[in-house]
Structure 1
Amino acid sequence: MNNIGGLLIDLDGTLYHGGRMIPGADLLIAALRKAGIPYMFVTNNSSRTPASVAAHLRGMGIEAEPDEVCTSSLAAARYIAEESPEATVAILGEEGLIQACSEAGLTLVAEAPDYVVQGIDRSFTYDSLARASRWVREGAKFVLTNPDLMLPADDGVIPGAGSLGAAIEAASGIPPVVIGKPEAHLIAYAASLLGIKPGEAVVVGDNMRTDISAGVRAGCRTILVLTGLTTRDNLEDYQRLTGVTPDEICEDLAELMGMLGV
């Protein structure tokens, strides 16, 4: 694949599974650094700060710095700050979202916000739902970091940000602006952090429904790696479901390195 301005690389399922590195992930990132190919780690995870994401990667032996990480929280905060720099924001979320909104210069409030921004929130309560849905009905703009309905956990799966967002939407009657994959906002923002246009970027990921769909919507080229959710057995089903096709498909990260020439 030629004329790559930069790579936008998914994390879970692409470089690791939970706390276990996928074989070749460390070699891939080291080779990209050596070759001088720009890249950004791009994740729907809204709870972690870039520093904690980078630390998680380094703990598995993958070179990473905070400024190489773009989260859905960063993209959500930037979306609001660009649309309304003086906005007040009520946050339903965790450390990553709180830090991102604060650093974007937004004013965090507990009542009558201009925006309700919501991510994964493991302290979410009925009162949270009641307040957030009331604010949205009263005119606050509803921004959802990412639409993931479920997340992997040690004992199976747990509700994700999308499940909480679905409750607020049901109670308010108003759908959110969705920032994370499969929508284009996160990918477009990550490309901007590399100083490139989406058409110059290549999205690398394992998930047809999120990574590849988001890349296509943003106008990027895409590479599907069969290291996680999508496999040869379910690829055709996902293609029919999403209506998209990746530009390239790699069996593993070693094949990806060969395709990139690193």
Structure 2
Amino acid sequence: MTEQRWNYLTDMDGVLVQEEHLVPGADEFLGELRANGTKFLVLTNNSIYTPRDLRARLLRTGLDVPESAIWTSALATAKFLDSQRPNGSAFVIGEAGLTTALHEAGYVLTDRDPDYVVLGETRTYSFTAITRAIRMIGDGARFIATNPDATGPSREGILPATGSIAALIERATGRQPYYVGKPNPLMMRSALRALGAHSEHTLMIGDRMDTDVHSGIEAGLETVLVLTGISTAETAERYPYRPTLVVDSIADLVGRTGDPFQAA
């Protein structure tokens, strides 16, 4: 038996789950990682939910992932702000996933002269809150956004997401946000630190060339593209960079987690 040498970062939606359904083979894949004692983190650009919320969501699909193995753009944003300005203040547009992460990092949430305006995802964007954010940025608050995703899925169709609202604020203020989540490799580096792993021995599994594979390559990781989400084999060819490996789904990695590239 070959010696285990890979750690895993894996996107959630489109890789392990599709909407509220398990991607076939995802449970076997994660079970194999646990059985081998392999370090792994499940990543998501979605800042709405806390790791506890996401654990409950995954459990409903049949996936048992501990809170400690879930890394969100909200957690990465809180870590980044703590490194930049410890115990700072922020005006936040977002949900519990973001506000909880910032509170736990020692941040004060305020609408009075904040150090930062932090924009995350919510299903109920408020025009009043967006207007206040625009005015605060105009008064000197620094502009941070958890991720650049322009749209998100729902049962009724696509919804405007963080990137779309960030574009509105940017147009009104002339100030570009600093995006923390994928494809910023900062998201990967913060996940590696949380995992206690090195990029040389870690690979990223994702369903999107423009976020997952892009950020994985820029963070120095080997990358695996699965075709159960956004990117297809055809659209993947349009990018100037390539993943290390392309597979139909996460099920194709079961039995190969020790070294998926050798088995390919």
- 2 CA distance for matches of 1:168 and 1:199? 38
Which aligned pairs between 1:6-85 and structure 2 lie closer than 5 A?
6-85=7-86
Tell me what 1:202 maps to. Answer: 203
Tell me what 1:186 maps to. Answer: 187
Which residues of structure 1 form unaligned runs of 5+? none
Tell me what 1:245 maps to. Answer: 242
Q: Which moved more, 1:20-29 or 1:247-256?
A: 247-256
Which aligned pairs between 1:94-113 and structure 2 lie closer than 5 A?
94-113=95-114
Deviation at 1:235, TM superposition (A): 2.2
Q: Indicate whether 1:259 and 2:259 are aligned.
A: no
Q: Contact 1:120/1:164 (CA < 8 Å) preserved in 2?
A: no
Deviation at 1:124, TM superposition (A): 2.2
Could you say what the CA RMSD is over the residues aligned between the two structures, in angstroms? 1.7
Tell me what 1:140 maps to. Answer: 141
Q: TM-score, normalised by structure 1?
A: 0.94
Q: Which moved more, 1:161-170 or 1:224-233?
A: 224-233
Q: Deviations over 1:139-178 (max 9, x none)?
A: 2111100111011111111101111111111111110110
Structure 1 moving runs of 4+ over 6 Å: none
Q: Which moved more, 1:123-132 or 1:10-19?
A: 123-132
AA in 2 matched with 1:171: A
Q: Which moved more, 1:205-214 or 1:227-236?
A: 227-236
- 2 CA distance for matches of 1:126 and 1:252? 40
SS at match of 1:147: coil
Q: TM-score, normalised by structure 2?
A: 0.93
Q: Contact 1:224/1:250 (CA < 8 Å) preserved in 2?
A: yes
Q: Deviations over 1:110-164 (max 9, x none)?
A: 2210011110133322222221112112221111001110111111111011111
Deviation at 1:258, TM superposition (A): 3.7
Q: Indicate whether 1:166 and 2:163 are aligned.
A: no
Q: Contact 2:94/2:122 (CA < 8 Å) preserved in 1?
A: yes
Q: Deviations over 1:67-89 (max 9, x none)?
A: 11000000001100111002111
SS at match of 1:202: strand
* Count of residue pairs the alignment pairs up: 258
